[in-house]
Amino acid sequence: MENILNQFKKVAPFIVEGVKARVTAEMTDAEVMVVIHEEIMTFFQKQQQMTNEYLAFDEDKRSTFAAAMYEILTPMADSFKGGINQKYAEYVEKTGKTGAFNFIINA
């Protein structure tokens, strides 16, 4: 259940925007809950539609899409600051082993 809630937290900001746009002060709690439900359903339906559209792409369209996503995401990726996972650094120092697999299995 905790994993589900953590995953939901990732998409919640997108859903909240739709809810904010639709909810009014005059609405009852039940009406607000209906709006929240509808926005959750709409979000996941859009995600499913995007997946289906992507799967229908031919090789050229997939290549074009990948290039566009790379172009859009590169500036954001470049802005990330590298960080050190302190637990991983301690594991490497203690064992001399590197790699995520070693860390996950042996730590």
pLDDT tens string 3-33: 777 877 888 888 999 999 999 999 999 999 9
Flag the least confident range among 12-21, 77-86, 87-96.
77-86
In angstroms, how far is CA 1 from the centroid of its own chain?
17
In angstroms, how far is CA 49 from the centroid of its own chain?
16
Question: Is residue 80 classed as helix, strand or coil in its secondary structure?
Answer: coil
- Considering the chain, what percentage of its residues have pLDDT values greater than 90? 43
Asked if residue 47 has pLDDT above 80, the reply is yes
Q: Indicate the pLDDT class of residue 49, thresholds 50, 70 and 90.
A: very high
Structure tokens at 107: 């730590």
Task: Report the alpha-carbon distance of residue 18 to residue 23 in Å, rounded.
Answer: 9
Task: Report the alpha-carbon distance of residue 19 to residue 79 in Å, rounded.
Answer: 30
- pLDDT value, residue 6: 80
Q: Using the CB atoms, write b or e for 83-95: b if 16+ within 10 Å.
A: eeeeebeebeeee
Return the amino acid letter for 26. Answer: E
Section 60-68 average pLDDT: 91
Task: Report the alpha-carbon distance of residue 19 to residue 34 in Å, rounded.
Answer: 10
Mean pLDDT of the chain: 87
Asked if residue 102 has pLDDT above 80, the reply is no
Contact 92/84 with Cβ under 8 angstroms?
no
Asked if residue 107 has pLDDT above 70, the reply is no
Please indicate, yes or no, whether the overall pTM of this predicted structure exceeds 0.75: no
